[in-house]
Amino acid sequence: MAAVQRPSQEEAEAAVRTLLRWAGENPDREGLLDTPKRVAKSYKELFAGYEENPEDILGTTFEEVGGYDDLVLVKDINFHSHCEHHMVPIIGKAHVAYLPDGEVVGLSKIARTVEVFARRLQTQENITAQIANSIQTILKPRGVAVLLEAEHMCMAMRGIRKQGSSTITTTFTGEFRDNVNEQVRFMSLIRAS
């Protein structure tokens, strides 16, 4: 990703003040005096994924796995992201599996990889592919399966205003892509209680 020249804290706060005025508010009102500072701080946290690299997260693996080479699944990883079109939340769950090829990664690293990409402006299709491709490229397992199910506030809060609808996206690599039985097993495991 190309480096972007970031505005200063003061420029970010001025932009928030402008948006408050544009929305019809008075940024000098008592309740809004610290809002520009809070919003800038919040954005730094919400979009921290731009400061992180999945290679740093997935780079440490373990080879002492007792010969284990079957599916590793981390399911129900809660995440929130922001739609790159409207900058409103996407809220959902990620289910990520891989078939190790001699080594495994710490389970929390899978959830952290989801977070890296979730904490960027995204489309659901893109985040799904980014998670799968990073794990495949860095860990080099026999295959990766990723399923995201999420509600998009750009559909729930504005536009068509359909609350409760969810979108499901999947990406399969390697044996998951080539073997429908592995896909079925993945789907069955994530649907199991």
pLDDT digits (tens, 9 = 90+) for 87-123: 999 999 999 999 999 999 999 999 999 999 999 999 9
pLDDT at 97: 98
Catalytic residue among 115, 136, 152, 183: 152
Mean pLDDT of the chain: 94
Residue 164 has pLDDT above 80, yes or no: no
pLDDT at 165: 82
Catalytic residue among 25, 52, 80, 83: 83
Whether 80 sits among the annotated catalytic residues: the reply is no
- Picking from 76, 77, 85, 78, the residue whose alpha carbon sits closest to that of residue 153 is 85
Per residue in 56-97, pLDDT tens? Answer: 999 999 988 888 889 999 999 999 999 999 999 999 999 999
Residue 48 has pLDDT above 70, yes or no: yes
Interatomic CA distance for residues 168 and 147, integer angstroms: 7
Whether 86 sits among the annotated catalytic residues: the reply is yes
Whether 84 sits among the annotated catalytic residues: the reply is yes
For residue 46, the SS3 value is helix
Whether 124 sits among the annotated catalytic residues: the reply is yes
Locate 132 and state its tokens: 């799968």
Residue 156 has pLDDT above 80, yes or no: no
pLDDT at 67: 85
pTM of the model: 0.92
